[in-house]
Amino acid sequence: MAHTFSKNYVHVIFSTKGRRKIIEKELQPRLWAYLAGISKNHDINMLAVGGTEDHIHLLFHLPPKLALAKAVLLLKANSSKWMSKDLSWQEGYGAFSVSSSNLAAVIRYIRNQQKHHRKFTFEEEFRAILRRHGIEYAPRDLFG
């Protein structure tokens, strides 16, 4: 084939180290914009960014030339440097494929994080997402 054809949408979730509530509401719009800028610089099409004081949700189209682990590393490392030494991210992350037919629902979900977390903690949310995607896990491995 002369060209590469790809459509990989990924919903990525990661938390602050120790789930510290350090992403203040006033800072969130700037951090979301910064993450979108990082993605643009690396040909990652960011579709949605959202989160709360202790975690982030991203939805993006992953280009075929970039591995998922590298994309997440670029986003986490650059945003951590931009924020300051006070912000460090947890080591791991959750990554979930999203079908084209489900994009609008995932975008709404990400944009409504503040409202969603009035009812559920990050830990409850993350466990539910793992279950929804059929990912087995040991509770001791989730939140260190």
Largest Cα–Cα separation, the chain: 50
Pair 144, 20: CB distance under 8 Å: no
> CA-CA distance, 127 to 39, in Å (whole number)?
27
**Residues 108-143: pLDDT tens digits?**
999 999 888 888 888 999 999 999 999 998 888 777
Q: What are the structural domains of the chain?
A: 8-141 (3.30.70.1290)
> CA-CA distance, 62 to 70, in Å (whole number)?
10
**What global pTM score does this model have?**
0.91
**Residues 79-89: pLDDT tens digits?**
988 877 677 89
> CA-CA distance, 58 to 126, in Å (whole number)?
14
Q: Which residues of 132-142 are buried (b: 16+ CB within 10 A; e: fewer)?
A: eeeeeeeeeee
Identity at 71, one-letter amino acid code: A
**Residues 21-52: pLDDT tens digits?**
989 999 899 999 999 999 999 999 999 999 99
Q: Which residue has the higher pLDDT, 58 or 1?
A: 58
- At residue 118, the pLDDT reads 87
